[in-house]
Amino acid sequence: MKNERKAVLLPFESFREKEAFSEIKKVIEAELSLKAVVAGESIAEPKSVFSLSGGKIDADLLLSYLQKCTEKNILAVFTGNELGCSDSDFVFGAAIVNGVCCVVSSSGFEGNTGRIAKEALHEIGHCLGLTHCKNACAMRFSSSVEDIDLKPAKLCSACKKFLAAKNI
Ligand SMILES: [Zn+2]
Ligand SMILES: [Zn+2]
């Protein structure tokens, strides 16, 4: 491992797809040269983040909360609740580009570990500085489940080069 940073994968209690973690871990470690560890105990989302209509989580609020919880490691949290953010009513995930935290929702693809793993790779990729990519690449933007299915659980050579230049 070139990088000592870890990706800490934290399932909130609402995230039921615990069996997805072996695939998430495999995809992250294969594509990002990061060690992925699953946090032992699930906790509930802070109540204050459920501030959008329909009981959705405000992803921006959640990320600013999470930012204070980690300094070096990337904290990737998983929720079973729906997410919205300032740009969109509904998102599968959200991250701070070049930041330390991201969130992935399993809402809409329960039982499909492949989709969850792809979105986890996408959001953690944002934390490492990657932006959206137009190639056949996990960093392609997805606004529907079909979009997710069309992209691979891999980074394209351009994104890999970008990370290699940053020594990740
Ligand atoms: Zn994205
Ligand atoms: Zn790419």
Span 137-155, pLDDT tens digits: 999 999 999 999 999 999 9
> How far apart are the CA of 40 and the centre of ligand 2, in A?
32
Domain count along the chain? 1
Domain that holds residue 95: 6-165
The CATH number for 153's domain is 3.40.390.10
Which residues are catalytically annotated? Answer: 123
What pTM did the predictor assign? 0.94
Q: Is 83 left (phi over 0), alpha (psi -120 to 50) or beta?
A: beta
> How far apart are the CA of 115 and the centre of ligand 2, in A?
17
Question: 20-68: per-residue pLDDT in tens?
Answer: 999 999 999 999 989 999 998 889 999 999 999 999 999 999 999 999 9
Instruction: Evaluate whether residue 110 is within a structural domain.
Output: yes
Looking at the CA of 97, which ligand is closest? 1
* Best CA proximity match to 88, nearest among 131, 139, 144, 48: 144
Question: 71-86: per-residue pLDDT in tens?
Answer: 899 999 999 999 999 8
> How far apart are the CA of 132 and the centre of ligand 1, in A?
6
